[in-house]
Amino acid sequence: MNNEILRLENVSLSYDNWKTYVLKDISFWLLSGEILSIIWVNGTWKTSLLKVIAWILSPSQWKLLKKYKKLSYVPQKINLDDSFPILVEEYIEIYNEKIGLKKIKDILHKFNSEYLLGKKINKLSWGELQKVLIVTALLSKPDLMLLDEPTAWIDIIGEEIFYKLIKEVKEYFPELSIVLVSHNIHLVYKNSQKVICLHENNFCCHGTPAEIWNNPTIKNIFWEYILPYRHNPHPHDKHNKT
């Protein structure tokens, strides 16, 4: 039986002395080994919720039971200076001091990515950079990993590739718990054990994908996001044309 790794009870957050709330009465729990996805509508403070979980922000009204020993946080994006020619292995070592090249090679080998060694970090494709960021986080041996909208700015094919990577991560690190933010409700349902729904400052619901799918409030608020996902044609999209 999996152990509870995190629990939030009635967490609220305000930036203006409680005149308005950016988060209000957030309650949920997470078990070891689970993937929990946060779905949201524009205007919600999903990054603030991740920062509360990571204890970067401390709300005044809250009860947070932190049962994980080590957490890794992967931001939505990183700013890379094109004039700074840092290599992949050098970037990884910045966040994992004294890790050694052998361990870097070993973990990249798990994900068939040894070819990234010697490449400049600012020359990687989106998918390669995501893999490096996640590998960097995994090397610190976290119990919990937070991913802030890792599939932003990409099409549905890129999202499918990302979730394939997450599946591989879980194969090698089955006890790792993951909290991620996503706007693609279909992929969330396919790849998560639990889902949280945020709308403005409201905590709509928390449950399994099946429970969320059958929730009438979700269908009302997220209706346009439940419709079939539209994306631009991709050169690698080999679906038959009619």
Q: Which helix (H) or strand (E) holds 129?
A: helix 126-138
Average pLDDT, the chain: 81
Indicate if the pLDDT at residue 79 is higher than 50.
yes
Count of domains observed in the chain:
1
Residue 65 belongs to some domain of the structure = yes
CATH number of domain containing 34? 3.40.50.300
Residue 149 belongs to some domain of the structure = no
Percent of the chain at pLDDT exceeding 90: 34
Give the pairing of strands 194-199 and 35-40. Answer: parallel
What's 111's DSSP letter? Answer: T
Candidates 152, 187, 184; CA nearest to 166 is: 187
User: Would you place residue 134 in the very low, low, confident or very high pLDDT band (cuts 50, 70, 90)?
Assistant: very high
What's 19's DSSP letter? Answer: S
Residue 25 belongs to some domain of the structure = yes
Residue 27 belongs to some domain of the structure = yes
What does pTM read for this prediction? Answer: 0.83
Residue 107 belongs to some domain of the structure = no
Long-range CB contact pairs, 15-20, < 8 A, 24+:
18/60, 20/201
How does pLDDT run across 13-64, given as a tens digit for each residue? 888 888 888 888 888 899 999 999 988 766 567 888 888 888 888 776 667 7
**Amino acid letter for position 234:** H
Residue 87 belongs to some domain of the structure = no
**Amino acid letter for position 136:** T
Q: Report the SS3 class of residue 59.
A: coil
**Burial group, residue 202, by CB count within 10 angstroms (0-12, 13-18, 19+):** middle
Q: Which helix (H) or strand (E) holds 62?
A: strand 61-66
Q: Which two tokens stand for residue 75?
A: 């931001």
Residue 11 belongs to some domain of the structure = yes
Residue 24 belongs to some domain of the structure = yes
Domain hosting 196: range is 1-43+59-69+176-223
How does pLDDT run across 94-123, given as a tens digit for each residue? 999 889 999 999 999 999 999 999 999 988
User: Would you place residue 241 in the very low, low, confident or very high pLDDT band (cuts 50, 70, 90)?
Assistant: very low
User: Would you place residue 202 in the very low, low, confident or very high pLDDT band (cuts 50, 70, 90)?
Assistant: low
